[in-house]
């Protein structure tokens, strides 16, 4: 068992790199709760459970398949993590961010992340997609805590964590695919209990449009590595106090209903980022 995050990254990257046999993923995609649909379209050069990758812990939560899949998606080499670890599972945030560091080690320089989130903005309906414009880290945890990892910077700038050009690519892909999208601020909390109505009112005042329990550790690690990031939240439910009591099954059901929209958005995005305009940076 690797003893440090850097060892885990090295072991995972070595193992996956050998299986990829010289393929370099252009993009890494971390797909959240029930949002792993695009992975099924990959002509898989590699398809492994997290537990089969050296350094990776197994995924535990229902709806989190926890698979690493690599190969061409509509002709573009991608590395997909279908499912993720969460800090609430008791993992060190460095483990949660491991996929990002491994993707970087394998050559990916663009990260797309998706998640399920509760809608704080009053107009949100379950099934809506929100491009993440910015985030608020209320997990009080950081994957960079500890020694500086290889290729990372100690104090990464977070003034533009979500890349403006990639957000434009998401908007364009959404328009092409006739998938409605909005933009907003994602607040990350530790969980796993859902929020109270008072906490939601607080988050609303802080400027959050949606709330969830993931994504931020991965985005911080990506920025420390200089990767460009795009993110989308699927609003699965009105946040606590704004609708009926919350249940994880509803989150999964909303993911299943929105699967087609997410699929079309992700495919359009990948094609654009890998196309001539996306390749210029």
The least distance separating ligand HPA from the CB of residue 128, rounded to whole angstroms, comes to 13
Q: Contact positions toward ligand HPA, by CB under 6 A?
A: 116-118, 194-195, 211-213, 236-237, 239, 246, 251
DSSP class of 91 = -
Is the CB of 24 or the CB of 193 nearer to ligand HPA?
193
86 classed as catalytic = yes
State yes or no: is 194 an active-site residue: no
Q: Which residue has the tokens 């106090």?
A: 241
> Nearest distance from residue 30's CB to ligand HPA, in Å?
15
**Which of residues 95 and 208 has its CB atom nearest to ligand HPA in the complex?**
208
The answer to whether the CB of 82 falls within 8 A of the CB of 48 is no
Concerning whether 15 is annotated as a catalytic residue, the answer is no
Distances (CA, A) of 211 to 83, 168, 216: 18, 23, 11
Give the chain's count of helices (H) and strands (E).
Answer: 8, 9
Catalytic position from the list 14, 44, 45, 89 = 89
Residue 115 annotated among the catalytic residues of the structure: no
Residue with Cβ nearer ligand HPA (173 or 213): 213
| 227 in catalytic set | no
Question: Residue 125 CB: number of other CB atoms within 10 A?
Answer: 10
Assign residue 22 a region: left if phi > 0, alpha if psi is -120 to 50, beta otherwise? left
The nearest distance, CB 120 to ligand HPA, in angstroms, is: 9
Nearest to 120 by CA among 244, 31, 230, 205: 205
Report, as residue numbers or ranges, the catalytic residues. Answer: 33, 64, 86, 88-89, 116, 213-214, 237, 248
């Amino acid at each position: 068992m690797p003893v440090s995050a850097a060892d885990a990254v090295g072991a995972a990257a070595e193992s996956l790199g050998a299986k990829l046999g010289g393929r370099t993923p252009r993009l890494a995609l971390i797909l959240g709760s029930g949002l792993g649909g695009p992975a099924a379209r990959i002509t898989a050069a590699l398809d492994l459970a997290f537990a089969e990758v050296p350094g990776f812990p197994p995924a535990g939560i229902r709806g989190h398949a926890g698979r690493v899949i690599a190969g061409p998606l509509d002709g573009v080499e991608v590395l997909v993590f279908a499912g993720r670890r969460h800090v609430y599972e008791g993992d060190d945030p460095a483990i949660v961010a491991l996929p990002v560091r491994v993707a970087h080690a394998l050559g990916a320089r663009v990260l797309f992340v998706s998640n399920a989130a509760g809608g704080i903005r009053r107009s949100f309906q379950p099934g809506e997609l929100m491009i993440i414009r910015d985030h608020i880290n209320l997990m009080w945890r950081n994957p960079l805590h500890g020694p500086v990892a290889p290729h990372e910077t100690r104090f990464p700038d977070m003034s533009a964590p979500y890349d403006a050009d990639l957000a434009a690519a998401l908007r364009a892909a959404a328009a092409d695919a006739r998938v409605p999208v909005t933009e907003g601020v994602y607040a990350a909390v530790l969980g796993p209990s859902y929020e109270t109505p008072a906490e939601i009112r607080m988050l609303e005042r802080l400027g959050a449009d949606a709330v969830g329990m993931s994504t931020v550790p991965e985005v911080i690690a990506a920025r420390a590595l200089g990767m460009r990031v795009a993110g989308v939240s699927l609003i699965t439910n009105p946040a606590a106090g704004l609708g009926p009591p919350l249940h994880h099954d509803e989150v999964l059901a909303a993911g299943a209903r929105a699967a087609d929209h997410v699929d079309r958005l992700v495919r359009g995005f990948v094609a654009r980022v890998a196309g001539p305009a996306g390749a210029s940076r």
